[in-house]
């Protein structure tokens, strides 16, 4: 019998990407399509015409009693932060597991939400119990979780690249880390914003939210790095999807490319979605877009004391819907690559 799931936030780019993945998953039945932004019921294939013939569901407002009646095992939330914040405790109270793709349960400090997300967070117990869904690092906790905080797209690209070196003590303690990331426009969501109009984005390239982007504290939390020694500057690319992150780090001592490669191999051997390109090739978006892969590479300078680390992911795939499905697979004891290869 297939596992019955629901998706809230069906109208967005991530919601569409997730539905496409779920529909091709051999062990999942999409039993509910919900959207807090829609009033009344609306056929999913009217919202996303590419799903004609593939999805016959109609949307409804998220309601925990109706979810329980539909016997949902897991609900994916592709919703704005404040919406997820309010929905998560209601859904969990119905005995339904939640994979939340917003930022509402990623940070462990409730006080951080007022300054970084603009709302007061009062669910301290849920923050403590939520498992950060970085699949390659937290699989054991993910397997038994009721609430997964799916990582942000930028943090996925950065933490997968830097965690092996930090955990191995290869990066100089207390040194500055600089992250320069570039994302396609779908990372900003489907809402109508003047700065995201075609005429504003095409043939253009610009930074946004430098230093103050809300993903910075999430990265530092997972890397266990002081925010005062961490600089993150995202940029908007004139393309639909994909993220390239370039990170500049000071190493604890001179290292060779072979030593760095050995650490990445040690951490990611057997993990199907991290591909180590080494020091001879570089990541590119066309190699990862429409996949769940993260490609990693590096270059050394200053006699092996400094490193430039590169990563590439699809912001809608490994950065959102793909990783959410990977986490679902781990939660339910499946091969983590089912529905993603």
**Span 302-340, pLDDT tens digits:** 999 999 999 999 999 999 999 999 999 999 999 999 999
Residue 153 annotated as catalytic: yes
Q: Yes or no: say if 246 and 299 are a contact pair by the CB < 8 Å rule.
A: no
Q: Per the residue annotation, which of 55, 78, 153, 294 is the catalytic one?
A: 153
Check residue 325 and give its pLDDT: 98
Q: What is the mean pLDDT of each run of 10 residues along the chain (341 residues)?
A: 96 95 97 83 92 94 93 97 96 97 95 92 94 98 98 98 98 97 85 76 89 95 97 95 98 97 97 95 97 98 96 98 98 97 87
H/E segment holding residue 178: strand 177-183
Check residue 287 and give its pLDDT: 98
- Where do the CATH 3.30.360.10 domains begin and end in the chain? 154-315
**Cα(332)–Cα(26) distance, rounded to whole angstroms?**
13
**Cα(185)–Cα(165) distance, rounded to whole angstroms?**
30
**Span 153-176, pLDDT tens digits:** 999 999 999 999 999 999 999 999
Q: Which CATH number fits domain 3-151+319-331: 3.40.50.300, 3.40.50.720, 3.30.70.20, 3.30.365.10?
A: 3.40.50.720
CATH superfamily for 154-315 is Dihydrodipicolinate Reductase; domain 2 (3.30.360.10)
Q: What is the pTM of this model?
A: 0.95
Check residue 193 and give its pLDDT: 75
DSSP result, 77-96: E-S-HHHHHHHHHHHHHTT-
**Cα(330)–Cα(42) distance, rounded to whole angstroms?**
32
Give 76's strand partners: 7, 99
Check residue 196 and give its pLDDT: 75
- Where do the CATH 3.40.50.720 domains begin and end in the chain? 3-151+319-331
Q: Yes or no: say if 13 and 20 are a contact pair by the CB < 8 Å rule.
A: no
């Amino acid at each position: 019998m297939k596992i019955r799931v629901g998706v809230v936030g069906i109208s967005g780019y991530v919601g569409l990407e997730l539905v496409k993945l779920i529909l091709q998953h051999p062990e999942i039945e999409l039993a509910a399509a919900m959207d807090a932004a829609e009033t009344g019921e609306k056929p999913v294939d009217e919202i996303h015409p590419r799903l004609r013939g593939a999805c016959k569901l109609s949307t409804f407002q998220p309601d925990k009693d109706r979810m329980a009646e539909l016997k949902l095992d897991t609900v994916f939330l592709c919703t704005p932060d404040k919406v997820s914040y309010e929905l998560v405790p209601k859904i969990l109270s119905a005995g339904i597991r939640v994979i939340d793709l917003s930022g509402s349960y990623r940070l462990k400090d409730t006080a951080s939400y007022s300054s970084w997300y603009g709302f007061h967070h009062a669910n301290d117990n849920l923050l403590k119990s939520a498992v950060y869904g970085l699949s390659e690092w937290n699989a054991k906790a993910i397997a038994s979780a009721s609430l997964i905080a799916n990582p942000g797209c930028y943090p996925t690209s950065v933490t997968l690249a830097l965690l092996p070196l930090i955990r191995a003590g290869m990066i100089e303690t207390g040194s500055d880390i600089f992250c320069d990331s570039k994302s396609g426009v779908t990372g900003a969501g489907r809402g109508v914003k003047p700065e995201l109009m075609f005429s504003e984005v095409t043939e253009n390239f610009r930074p946004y939210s430098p230093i103050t982007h809300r993903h910075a504290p999430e990265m530092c939390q997972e890397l266990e790095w002081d925010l005062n020694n961490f600089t993150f500057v995202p940029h908007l690319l004139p393309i639909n999807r994909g993220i390239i992150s370039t990170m500049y780090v000071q190493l604890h001592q001179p290292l060779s490319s072979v030593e760095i490669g050995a650490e990445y191999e040690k951490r990611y051997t057997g993990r199907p979605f991290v591909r180590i390109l080494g020091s001879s090739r570089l990541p590119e978006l066309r190699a990862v877009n429409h996949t769940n892969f993260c490609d990693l590479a590096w270059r050394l300078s200053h006699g092996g004391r400094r490193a430039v680390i590169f990563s590439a992911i699809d912001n809608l795939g490994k950065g959102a819907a793909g990783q959410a499905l990977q986490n679902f697979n781990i939660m339910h004891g499946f091969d983590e690559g089912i529905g993603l290869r």
